[in-house]
């Protein structure tokens, strides 16, 4: 059973979204996703300042045998990326909801959050 924290929102493509405040969302990939991929060896992140639409490809997570795109769950501007992942992609495996976060977005439209899944919905989605 993979961990699906209750306080987060989720996308069907296995990103999690944490709302720090109205101007800052943190994005990562779920425990379920990192388990499927296996040991990550590389994380490609978007550039700070880049604007993205909901559903845009905004990064890649790579293991030895697979590579998977990361989709932006909302529209907005990238305001930070987790630079530690450049040297330590394994943080995504060891702490997907904490030190393994990928990037932060300043959202254009908070209403988009309502299109995302709750923890319960996501749990059902991956079963």
* Interacting residues of 78 by C-beta distance below 8 A, sequence separation 6+: 46, 47, 48, 49, 50, 51, 52, 58, 103, 104, 105
Comparing CB distances to other proteins, the nearer of 5 and 38 is 38
What are the E-state strand segments in the chain?
Answer: 9-10, 15-21, 24-29, 40-44, 51-52, 57-63, 67-71, 76-81, 103-107
Q: How far is the CB of 106 from other proteins (least distance, A)?
A: 22
Binding to other proteins, residues 39-68 (CB under 8 A)? 39, 41-42, 44, 47, 62-67
Record the tokens describing residue 30, joined without a space.
């779920």
Comparing CB distances to other proteins, the nearer of 56 and 62 is 62
Comparing CB distances to other proteins, the nearer of 86 and 121 is 86
| Site pattern 78..97 for other proteins (x: CB under 8 A) | -----------xx-------
Which residue ranges make up the site for other proteins (CB under 8 A)?
39, 41-42, 44, 47, 62-67, 69, 89-90
């Amino acid at each position: 059973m993979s961990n699906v924290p209750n306080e987060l929102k989720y996308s069907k493509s296995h990103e999690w979204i944490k709302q720090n405040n109205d101007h800052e969302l943190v994005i990562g990939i779920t425990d379920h996703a990192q388990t499927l991929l296996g040991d990550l060896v590389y994380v490609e992140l978007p550039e700070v300042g880049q604007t993205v639409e909901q559903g845009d490809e905004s990064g890649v997570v790579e293991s030895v045998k697979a590579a998977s795109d990361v989709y932006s769950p909302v529209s907005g501007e990238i305001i930070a990326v987790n630079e530690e992942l450049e040297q330590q992609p394994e943080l995504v495996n060891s702490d997907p909801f904490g030190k393994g976060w990928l990037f932060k977005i300043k959202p254009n439209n908070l209403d988009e959050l309502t299109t995302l899944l709750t923890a319960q919905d996501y749990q059902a989605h991956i079963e």
